[in-house]
Structure 1
Amino acid sequence: MSTIHVDVVSAEESIFSGEARFVALPGEVGELGIYPRHTPLISRIKAGSVRIELADGREEFIFVAGGILEVQPNRVTVLSDTAVRGKDLDEEKANEARRAAEDALKNAKSEIELAKAKSELAVMAAQLAALRKYRSKKWSD
């Protein structure tokens, strides 16, 4: 079976590097599915779940807070400021951050503060949704 090399990189570290049969992730205008020999493309991605079907059939799950996707026929690269393995997602921390973003939204005194708070709130909502999805699917580690 044909595979494609996948790299998921955050600002701090390489989160995943390996061979996959398929990659699904949240494109800016909808869900993207990438198979080996995919047409080259560069796209922005939004906050959400990256699902990687490994060569052996297991699945890897990673939350990204948006970023850039580059696809070449034999390689997928996901660059994100923040990327967290599904098994490392912390619901309590995400809920705290969501509450802080809600407070910041209520107390915003400028358009910039308002935009930043809205962005943070959207990322935290996506992270909580990704966590629920990860738990419901019982993704492999």
Structure 2
Amino acid sequence: MSTFLLEIVTPERKVYAEQVNMLVAKGVEGELGILPNHIPLVTPLKISTITVKKQGSKDEIIAVNGGFMEVRKDKVVILAESAELPEQIDVDRARAAKERAEKRLAENKQDNVDFKRAEASLQRALNRISVSGK
């Protein structure tokens, strides 16, 4: 079965770089399944998980907090604001961030900017908690 190179890069570091058979990502327009020789595209990503499929091994789940995905014939590059593998996630910190965001959302209904920031913070925390349990 053919493969392609998947690279996940953040401003700080390269999080992931391996040959994979398939990946599933959530773009702003919906879920995308990418196989080798996929048509080239660039799309913004949601705060969500990336599922990586490699032949002969269990699916890998990676928390990605926004960014863009560029698909080429033999390579996919995800430029993410942040990305973490399950073993890198501090679950207690993620739960504390979730609680802070929920508190801000409950308190603050006047300021639209703070509401959107709190909402994004909550999504990131939930995404990290979800991936840490896999």
TM beyond 0.5: yes
TM-score, normalisation: structure 1? 0.84
Whichever residue aligns with residue 101 of structure 1, its letter is A
Superposition deviation, residue 8 in structure 1 = 0.4
Kindly report the root-mean-square deviation, in angstroms, between the aligned alpha carbons of the 2 structures. 1.7
Residue 112 of structure 2 is matched in structure 1 by 111
Superposition deviation, residue 98 in structure 1 = 0.5
Contact 1:48 1:65 in 2 (8 A): yes
Q: What secondary structure sits across from 1:106 in the alignment? A: helix
Residue 128 of structure 2 is matched in structure 1 by 127
Contact 1:44 1:67 in 2 (8 A): yes
Contact 1:51 1:61 in 2 (8 A): yes
Greater Cα offset, 22-31 or 47-56: 47-56
Q: What secondary structure sits across from 2:21 in the alignment? A: strand
Q: What secondary structure sits across from 2:2 in the alignment? A: coil
Matches of 1:87 and 1:33, distance apart in 2? 24
Name the count of aligned residue pairs.
Answer: 133
Runs of 4+ in structure 1 over 6 Å off: none
Matches of 1:30 and 1:42, distance apart in 2? 13
Greater Cα offset, 76-85 or 89-98: 89-98
Contact 1:95 1:128 in 2 (8 A): yes
Whichever residue aligns with residue 124 of structure 1, its letter is A
Aligned pairs (5 A) from 1:87-102 = 87-102=87-102
Identity %: 26
Aligned pairs (5 A) from 1:74-85 = 74-85=74-85
Contact 1:48 1:63 in 2 (8 A): yes
TM-score, normalisation: structure 2? 0.88
Contact 1:4 1:74 in 2 (8 A): yes
Matches of 1:105 and 1:11, distance apart in 2? 28
Residue 13 of structure 2 is matched in structure 1 by 13
Alignment deviations for residues 1-47 of structure 1 (CA, whole Å, 9 cap, x no partner): 21111100112110011111111112223221110000111111111
Superposition deviation, residue 90 in structure 1 = 2.4
Contact 1:19 1:55 in 2 (8 A): no
Whichever residue aligns with residue 12 of structure 1, its letter is E
Q: What secondary structure sits across from 1:96 in the alignment? A: helix
Unmatched tracts of structure 2, length 5 or more: none
